[in-house]
Amino acid sequence: FWYRIFLVKILGPRFLFRPFKNLFFLVGLCLVGNHLFCEDGISLWKNEIKPLLENNCWKCHGADKVRAGLILTTREGVLKGGEVGPAVDLENPSASLMLQMVSYKDEDHQMPPIGKLPQNKIDALENWIQVGLPFPKEDEIEPKNAHSYARTTEVNEVTKSHWAFKKPVADTIPNLPKHANPIDRFIHAQLSVNKLPYNPQAEDHTLIRRMYYDLIGLPPTPDEVEIYVSDKRPDKFNRLVDQLLRSPHYGEKWGRHWLDLVRYAETNGYERDGDKPQAWRYRDYVINSFNQNKP
């Protein structure tokens, strides 16, 4: 695309309607003038683009680390893009996703995150795309892991090897009848293999505090402790677990782990403190999902 624009600018619009007559010119241009034709693009790469990418992009989108599936250390990686699409648009350079991000036009998609690039650097990137994305082969750095090119949204042989894509298989519970809880049986079996002693049964005062903190994140009241300690039923521990799992505080406590994992927040922080007026809906959805035991 870019070379057609170049030729039309040099030869005029008649170039488009005189293909055979200009064939010899094209051959000569390729054989004689190729070095001159590419010189500006290569110079732009070495003096402007490569240092810019090295200092601002390759740390997170390079051979060692690949965020959002985007690799910027090879021409193929730039063209392929990441999870949100190709980084550049050679047919419409100004619409390239890379330029939109470095221009800080969208507060949710701004790169590099440490601060906006100077305008002359942004202009250099746009010029780089306009001249066809010159990227010398000797400067390309292939990702160390073959699966680095795989987008995290794709299901392929690499992602299918993850445990999340494998069917659960029931394990054999160790035959240790003195432990009623299967988890305790597994723990005791491994302790025995490693010749390690196991702790004795915790007292009721300790158990109820552990269960309250683990399941709902709040301490029991003195009355609740007294009721549990004085309860003589053999299944009182299981009853306590069921009681706490029915508490709305259970979803609030355990939903936080999931919300932390997805980096939930109702603001962007002090740097870009934009409103997120509907964010609470997702928060409540996660909490309610835990309380409803949704798979």
For 81-138, the pLDDT digits (tens) are 888 888 899 999 989 999 999 999 877 778 888 889 999 999 999 999 999 999 999 9
In which band, very low, low, confident or very high, does the pLDDT at 152 lie, cut at 50, 70 and 90? Answer: low
Task: Reduce the DSSP state of residue 89 to 3 states and report it.
Answer: coil
User: pLDDT tens across 24-55, in order?
Assistant: 444 444 443 333 346 788 899 999 999 999 89
Residue type at position 107: E
pLDDT reported for residue 24: 46
Residue 78: count of CB within 10 angstroms of its CB: 23
Judge whether residue 190 has pLDDT over 90.
yes
| Sign of the torsion angle spanned by Cα atoms 212, 215, 216, 217 | positive
pLDDT reported for residue 153: 58
Q: Is the peptide bond before 112 cis (omega within 30 degrees of 0)?
A: yes
Task: Reduce the DSSP state of residue 106 to 3 states and report it.
Answer: strand
Give, in degrees to the nearest 5, the angle at Cα 243 between 200 and 173.
50
Per mean pLDDT, which range of 15-24, 65-74, 155-164, 168-177 is the poorest? 15-24
pLDDT reported for residue 34: 37
Q: 64 with 83: CB under 8 angstroms?
A: no
Task: Tell me the average pLDDT across 217-233.
Answer: 97
Q: 97 with 84: CB under 8 angstroms?
A: yes
Q: What is the mean pLDDT of the chain?
A: 83
Per mean pLDDT, which range of 25-39, 57-71, 217-231, 250-264 is the poorest? 25-39
| Sign of the torsion angle spanned by Cα atoms 144, 150, 152, 155 | negative
Residue 93: count of CB within 10 angstroms of its CB: 21
